[in-house]
Amino acid sequence: MQTPGAPPHPATRSPGHYSSTVPAYLDAARSVIASRRAARRVTTPERLRPLDFAPFEAALAALSSTDADRVSALVDGADIASLARALDSRSLTARDLLLHHLARVRAHDDRLRSIIELNPHALDEARESDERRAAGASRGRLDGIPLTVKDNIATAGPLHTTAGTFSLAEHVADGDAAVVAAVREAGAVLLGTNNLSELAGAVSTTPGVSAVGGQSANPYGPDFSPGGSSSGTAVAVAAGLAVVGIGTETSGSLLAPASFNGVVGMKPTHGFVPGTGIVPLVSTQDDAGPVARTVADAADLLEAMTGGAVRVESGEPGGLPGSRVGVLRAEVVRQRSALEDTTDNAALLDRAAAALEAVGATCVEVEVADARTTSSVEKELLAVVLGGLSHETMAAVAAAGGPASVAELQRLGLADPERRIPRGQTLVSLAAVRRTTAEAHAAAAAALVERSRQLLDEAFERVGADVLLSLSNVHSPFYASAGHPAVTVPLGLRSSGMPVGATLIGRRGADAHVLRWAGALEAATHARVSPRL
């Protein structure tokens, strides 16, 4: 599909248009200039189109302040289990729950920009949920629970599936992605789709910005990064605009925004959640995962996402006597990040380790990789991501009617940079210049998986660890590439006031196990602090 004002589709260009490297380098130079100009802009990128509240206006207008206060008293701070009990007892309806969250979206999301599009059929879905409960046919805890989905995950029309990119702004998928179909089958109400770092973080180096959704904002403060690429999902859940959400991760894209926005995020074992219908970046390590305010809610959502393949009790997790935790202290302490102040990393990690020791775990320090090896793995990861953008992402974009190559995507952005690449397109430019072949990309991705698995497996075995303890997404180049499950749990606020999460990395396939560990850490700390909106 050709969007208005876009340059001709690559099929209309003469053969060999990009056969020379000279045009690619010229476009790269133009992209660098555009990125530098974007960095100097003081304006915040806005949505391409406003949220459409028309399908809900009458229902919202009819909601009395008394009813709104009654629902707020039941909903604010409640987890899925509590909401399900209220729904089962008829003290709350799915319609009430949806309207409560829509009202919060209208009140706060012009500033937060966590949502790209509202589902115009959401009220119908809530009504159907209420009818099922009235007939004694509830589908379980998730029935009637409003959730949002990252916009690189296909949702059936009339919703658009854009991955945040201008070239797919009008794209409507043929149907739901497998994971969306699964949660709808569980009765969840799709409130809308979430903003993201465009093309799952493969365009700009600025987290949380897309041409379609604008710039997501961290609800804890304008000076804090929202993280990426599942920025909007984490922001919406943190701010109470949805109960739970679904994001995706290639390397840190779930755990970083979850940590930065004070919520729980999980990257499951690679391949555990079906990936059909998700715009890919690197298929050897792309995974959809849950975002929630509690570990129990994340477990409930993951169970629905996997069709019941993961079952974790949502009650008290109990102690961890005899268990061993490998504490990745050296790597966490030496972390430096432009996105967060890491000067208190050591104290935060020690706090998490002490909490686990208090419930019976034995903590022992271990290292996955020294600084030199870590740098080498990060360089390999960047090369794999650029290759994935060139071959996997662009194949999906082309199939949806967009440009077929990174060179065409680059030129599309340069035709109207302020609107189409509001924070530049550094990664697109790098991919266009590198021109990695599909074969070389596949080989590099496989080699990265093997290397990361070896490093992580050796760390587990060296100290006999059941799980590894880190912070935020410090170890995403390893766990994500290796396909291990990882969960980040709110650890309170840094000295700067920005949220931070403690991250537990499990062995491959041990998703339920790592969730139980996360529940134990959550119960031992109770550290989450809600944002003040």
According to DSSP, residue 402 is labeled: S
Residue 207 lies in a domain: yes
In a domain, 299, yes or no: yes
pLDDT surpassing 90 at residue 211: yes
Give the span between the Cα atoms of 171 and 368, in whole angstroms. 42
Between 429 and 7, name the one with better pLDDT.
429
Write the pLDDT tens digit of every residue in 50-60: 999 999 999 99
* Nearest-5° Cα angle at 127, 126 to 131: 120
Annotate 416-477 with DSSP letters as a single string: SHHHH-TT--HHHHHHHHH---HHHHHHHHHHHHHHHHHHHHHHHHHHT-SEEEEETTTTHH
Instruction: Check 150, 204, 230, 452 and give the catalytic one.
Output: 150
Is pLDDT above 90 for 37?
A: no
CA angle 443, 449, 451 (to 5 degrees): 100
Across 115-132, average pLDDT: 99
Domain count for the chain: 1
Please check whether residue 507 lies inside any domain of the structure. no
Is 427 or 28 the better-scoring residue by pLDDT? Answer: 427
The predicted pLDDT at position 3 comes to 32
DSSP string, 127-183: HHHHHHHHTT----TTTT-EEEEETTB--BTTS---TT-GGGTT--BSS--HHHHHH
What letters, b where the CB count within 10 A reaches 16 and e where it falls short, cover 377-392? beebbebbbbbbbbbb
Residue 229 in any domain: the answer is yes
Q: Are 255 and 264 in contact (CB under 8 A)?
A: no
Interval 433-485: pLDDT, tens: 999 999 999 999 999 999 999 999 999 999 999 999 999 999 999 999 999 99
Tell me the per-residue pLDDT of 136-145, one tens digit each, with 9 for 90 and over. Answer: 999 999 999 9
Catalytic residue among 210, 216, 253, 259: 253
Q: Which of 266, 311, 160, 172 is nearest to 504 (CA)?
A: 266
Task: Quote the pLDDT of residue 310.
Answer: 76
Is 481 annotated in the active site? no
Give, in order, the Cα–Cα distances in Å from 387 to each of 26, 276, 449.
20, 20, 15
Active site residue 229: yes
Residue from 129, 167, 204, 229 carrying the catalytic annotation = 229
User: What pLDDT is recorded for position 32?
Assistant: 59
Task: In whole angstroms, give the CA distance from residue 427 to residue 504.
Answer: 29
Which of 468, 505, 251, 231 is CA-nearest to residue 379? 251
- Angle among Cα 86, 303, 351 to the nearest 5 degrees reads 85
Nearby residues of 102 by Cβ (< 8 Å), 6 or more positions away: 53, 56, 60, 118, 122, 191
**Residue at 378: amino acid letter:** E
Handedness of CA 387, 334, 292, 271 (dihedral sign): positive
pLDDT of residue 321: 84
| Residue 362, beta-bridge partner list | 324
Look at residue 14 and tell me whether its pLDDT is greater than 50.
Answer: no
Range with the poorest average pLDDT among 26-30, 63-67, 102-106: 26-30
pLDDT, averaged across the chain: 93
Segment 298-321 mean pLDDT:
78
Cα radius of gyration (the chain): 22
Residue 144 counted as domain residue: yes
Whole-angstrom Cα distance, residue 393 to residue 139?
A: 35
Q: Which residues contact 197 (CB under 8 A, 6 or more apart)?
A: 164, 203, 204, 206, 207, 208, 209, 210, 228, 229, 231, 253
Is 32 exposed, middle or buried (CB count within 10 Å of its CB: 0-12, 13-18, 19+)? middle
pLDDT-derived band at 26 (thresholds 50, 70, 90) equals low
443: amino acid identity, one letter: A
The answer to whether 146 and 242 are in contact (CB under 8 A) is yes
Residue 126 lies in a domain: yes
Average pLDDT over residues 508-533: 96
98: in domain: yes
Whether pLDDT at 159 is above 50: yes
At residue 12, the pLDDT reads 31
CA 247 to CA 257: how far, in whole Å? Answer: 10
Q: Using 50, 70 and 90 to split pLDDT, how confident is the model at 311?
A: confident
Q: Mean pLDDT throughout 105-131?
A: 99
Contact indicator for 294, 265 with CB cutoff of 8 Å: no
- Please answer whether residues 31 and 429 qualify as being in contact, where contact means their C-beta atoms are separated by less than 8 angstroms: yes
Residue 283 designated active-site: no
Residue 316 counted as domain residue:
no
User: How far is 283 from 272, CA to CA, in rounded Å?
Assistant: 13
- Rounded CA separation 353/520 (Å): 12
Confidence of residue 313 (pLDDT cuts 50, 70, 90): low
The per-residue pLDDT for range 381-401, each reduced to its tens digit, is 999 999 999 999 999 999 999
pLDDT digits over 247-261, tens only? 999 999 999 999 999
Is the Cβ–Cβ distance between 31 and 424 less than 8 Å? yes
Tens digits of per-residue pLDDT, 169-185?
999 999 999 999 999 99
| pLDDT, position 25 | 54
Parent domain of 295: 54-305
What CATH number is associated with residue 158?
3.90.1300.10
> Would you list the DSSP string of 194-239?
E--SHHHHTS-SSTTEETTTEE---TT-TTS---SSSHHHHHHHHT
